[in-house]
Chain A
Amino acid sequence: MCRLALKTAIEPFSPYEVLQAMEAMQEGYDGSGLGLLLRGMEFEDFKYNPRFPILSGIANTDKAWRRLDDFMEDLGYELKYDHRFRVDKSYVEDRDRFRYFVRAYRMPDRFADATTEEREQELLATRLALRKNGEENGRDLSVFSFWPDVAMIKEVGWPLQIGNLLGLHDGQIKSRVCMAQGRQNTNYGINLYACHPFFVQGISTMTNGENTAFVPIRDWLLGRDFPGYMGYQSDSEVFTHILHYAIKQLKLPLQAYKHIITPLSTKELDNHPQGDFLKGLKSVCRRLIIDGPNAVIGTLPDETCMLVMDQKKLRPATVGGREGAWAIASEMCGVDAMIPDRDPSFDFQPMREHTIIIPPERKELTIWSQYDQFPLSQAA
């Protein structure tokens, strides 16, 4: 079974802390891979401007590395910072990786007056173009994210081993949000793009469990003709895209996500303050209903973190923490490892109707229920 850990704190921390939590949760999982997402970046040797988009990924060969450089230069991106991981090759099992990269760029001048939407589109298009470039060249280049204030790392192996490989314990790289998922997609062929967390335009989620409704959801998302809705090497990738669709395309509040993926029954909606609106929403988003078993953990560009369960609550997840630092993990010992100095009696395991929201202020968490009034003016 997959292991998931997310930590969010006011004070930037090392991703190694989250990897240690993964280690604490190691019992019962196969440690076949690691996906890491860092948000709210801080580099020891560089004063990072959070407006600079960060490109993260792996170049397997020198050639791919040079191709990436040329590609970005041709587009007019100016390299501001190139993080060098202190790679300890003793942790690598004869794997062919030329360079793990996390590089901050300044956007081309032509975007100086561009709208946010145009900039976001450009970042997505660039990431997809690079991904395609790598796939066309024997998969020698993988790009996981290209977005301001976000870095991603994905690799096959035990989480701690990968942390040691990249020297993540050295404090060179820190973030205010870190999410990690500890399993490659072992049900299918190994592919780094199939590794959680998934990312599209600043929105990222990771999941445990299988998505039984994957094919109809994928087919519907593909029909949106949105360039970022692609890949689908993993059945969990659709959870990220649904969240993106709800927030970015439909411009609905985060609470709508739960109403879309696990809507209340018609009988329950009959007694809901906005039952009519939500019934309509359920009907128009019917193809996005998930069946689980899943716990979905995600982060948004404003550093909000969230956790929801499938309707049958067939996967575990716990949230706990204190003012300033919160953790979400698939196992309780994971929360313990990330925030030992909290009162565990306030830990919470959401039920089927709950959305756990940790707002960027990180003072306290919100337990929002689907039965509550839906925060949308147009629905009122």
Chain B
Amino acid sequence: MVPVRSIPVEPGSLTYPDLPWVIQHREDRCTLCGHCTTVCPKESIYLAYRRQRVPKLEILSKKRGNDYRTFVGIRQKPNPKHACIGCGMCAMVCPNEAIAPVPNTIENRTLFFDNIKGEAPKRGGRRNATGPTLLDRIMFDRISMLTDPALDAGRHEFTVTTTLGRILSPEDYLKRSSEGGWIPPTREIFPFVIGSMSFGALSPNMWLGLLQGVAYCNEVLGIPVVMCTGEGGCPPWVLKSPYLKYIILQIASGYFGWDEIIRAIPDMQCHPAAIEIKYGQGAKPGDGGLLMWYKVSKLIARLRGVPEGVDLPSPPVHQTLYSIEESVMKMIQTLSMAFDHKVPVYPKISASTSAKAVLNNLVRNPYAGGLLIDGIDGGTGAAYNVSMDATGHPVASNVRECYLDLAAQGKQNEIPIYAAGGIGKNGNVAQNGMALVMLGASAVHIGKYIMQATAGCLGNEQNRCNVCNVGICPKGITSQNPKLYRRLDPDKVAERVAESFMSIQTEVKKIMAPLGRSQSLPIGMSDAIGINDKDAADRLNIKYVC
């Protein structure tokens, strides 16, 4: 062994098999077109010149020797900053199937070096827990068999909508309707809501595509889908358009975009679907929203009322609030009043063992329109890895607990519980959503699934891509760089939104029909579900089946 002085080896020196994704390149297929190196969002690959020895045998002179040839190949940079993220855009653009990333199943040493310059690692996406989720394992097992005819999902009429907003007790409703009192506003919505993804986190094209798709679902397909803005406001042209009725405006601790919203109130043609007050997010509980400087473009800066190119970390909590009573009472009531008490206002919290305390406060607040509980499997545009991976609470048991608590008080119809976090994580969106409905949720919010299904987001649970935070989304979904987001055709996104909701609606009916349910969403129909895990069954108070 001799020292190799010509090769600098530093503590952080890595080589390509140390990286999470390894590029496989086939020189024999490569045409050197350069598409892959151009498209790579991480600039992970480069065109390299290499020398290869070719043994040479000169038969006549009976001499042996070496010849050398030069060749070009695509090589991977071993620097963690440029580590391949496995997005596979190189494979997508390669005309000759010459290149593709493969997951490195042996070792990922970048984990030890992703804190260069003392910056703790951040990313977008989910917590990267693979395998079937608890929701995936829930079975709908109470089938109307010979005792009664099952319904026909294709031919019978179904009501699959749910209520958004506070519902009075029947006694209270009759009293108020006879006295002309205030009846809290409600909306009939499709129980799968496009969850909060901000204008800022999403590119303008993605946002436009979603809005177009939602409008199509409502106005052409008759599926009353609504979408939530996330923290970051709403473009003024949308605020003043008739499409605002399909939009839930979110207000969060940074209050971004609310200047524009408040200013637009006098010009609004209709009321928004609801107001969501974000107190917490499942992916990063106890942490505020984060829009990293890469994505604070001129447009975003104007909309949010901030300078361009600065990080926008929202505080973990609304700074004006000191106690749960105050946060619940003051903020909900204020926002309800801002919209003439004609728009439901509900808070969103991270799933947590303290969720029941929040819920019980809401029960006593006449202006609270529901509670959204976001579980640990939820996605985010940007968060510290440690928050995303290790902080939070799964949504299922949290929602169930809250529902049973409400049922014990006889108020399960009054404060709807909405669930979010990991619904459709493995593609089973209708199954996951309906399992939560039967556990007690009135509706579910889906964000990451929507990005994956409608725009082809490449993120998965093996840490593929997940660069939403730095604005280099190779599909143009979460980027503010026009060169990237022009790749995304809003019309195509809209088409996929419509397709996705049509199929979810069919699957919901296919789940409800065998249970003999068609007249109302089977909220809390816990006798219809079972799971092949005794502990989970006990915890959720449902059947254990095996």
Identify the A interface with B (CB < 8 A).
187, 209-210, 212-216, 219-220, 222-225, 245, 249-250, 252, 262, 265-266, 277, 280-281, 283-287, 289-293, 311-312, 314, 378-379
Contact = CB atoms under 8 A, between A and B. Distances in A.
A249 B171 contact: yes
A284 B413 contact: yes
- Residue in A222, A284, A285 whose Cβ sees the most chain B Cβ within 10 Å: A284
B516 interface: yes
Contacts of B144: 210, 212
7 contacts: A215-B528, A223-B410, A249-B171, A291-B516, A311-B519, A314-B148, A378-B177
Nearest to A211: B516
A286 B525 CA distance: 13
B519 A281 contact: no
Nearest to A315: B148
Contacts of B167: 283-284, 286
A223 B148 contact: no
Contacts of B177: 277, 280, 378-379
A266 B178 CA distance: 21
Contacts of A209: 148
Nearest to A186: B147
Given A216-B525, A280-B183, A312-B156, A223 B412 contact: yes
Interface of B is mostly: loop
B404 to A, nearest CB: 9
B410 A225 contact: yes
B186 A283 contact: yes
Contact of A287 (B178, B188, B412): B412
B179 to A, nearest CB: 9
A290 B413 contact: no
Contacts of B525: 213, 215-216
Contact of A281 (B173, B407, B411, B528): B173
B518 A291 contact: yes
Contact of B524 (A215, A277, A290): A215
Interface string B502-520: 0000000000000111111
B31 interface: no
B412 A212 contact: no
Nearest to A262: B519
Interface in B169-209: 169-174, 177-178, 183, 186, 188
Interface string B146-162: 01110100001101010
B171 A250 contact: yes
Contact of B519 (A266, A280, A291): A291
Contact of A312 (B151, B407, B526): B151
A287 B407 CA distance: 11
B391 to A, nearest CB: 33
A314 B163 CA distance: 27
Given A223-B412, A291-B517, 8 more contacts: A209-B148, A213-B520, A216-B523, A286-B520, A291-B516, A293-B148, A314-B149, A378-B178
Contacts of A265: 157, 159
Contact of A213 (B168, B409, B517): B517
Nearest to B521: A286
A210 B147 contact: yes
B471 to A, nearest CB: 42
Interface string B295-313: 0000000000000000000
Given A187-B147, A286-B163, A291-B518, A250 B527 contact: no
A187 B159 CA distance: 28
B522 interface: yes
B408 interface: yes
Contacts of B410: 220, 222-225
Nearest to B170: A284
Contacts of A212: 144, 148, 515-517
A250 B169 CA distance: 11
Contacts of A283: 163, 167, 186
A6 B207 CA distance: 61
B188 A291 contact: no
Given A250-B170, A280-B183, A283-B163, A290 B519 contact: yes
Nearest to A249: B171
A378 B174 contact: yes
B147 to A, nearest CB: 5
B527 A284 contact: no
B526 A215 contact: yes
B407 A219 contact: yes
Nearest to A263: B519
A311 B173 CA distance: 24
A244 to B, nearest CB: 13
B524 A219 contact: yes
Contacts of A223: 407-412
- Residue in B147, B157, B161, B526 whose Cβ sees the most chain A Cβ within 10 Å: B147
Contact of A220 (B149, B188, B412, B518): B412
Contacts of A213: 517, 519-520, 522, 525
Nearest to B524: A216
Nearest to A213: B517
- Residue in B515, B520, B526 whose Cβ sees the most chain A Cβ within 10 Å: B520
Nearest to A277: B177
B146 to A, nearest CB: 10
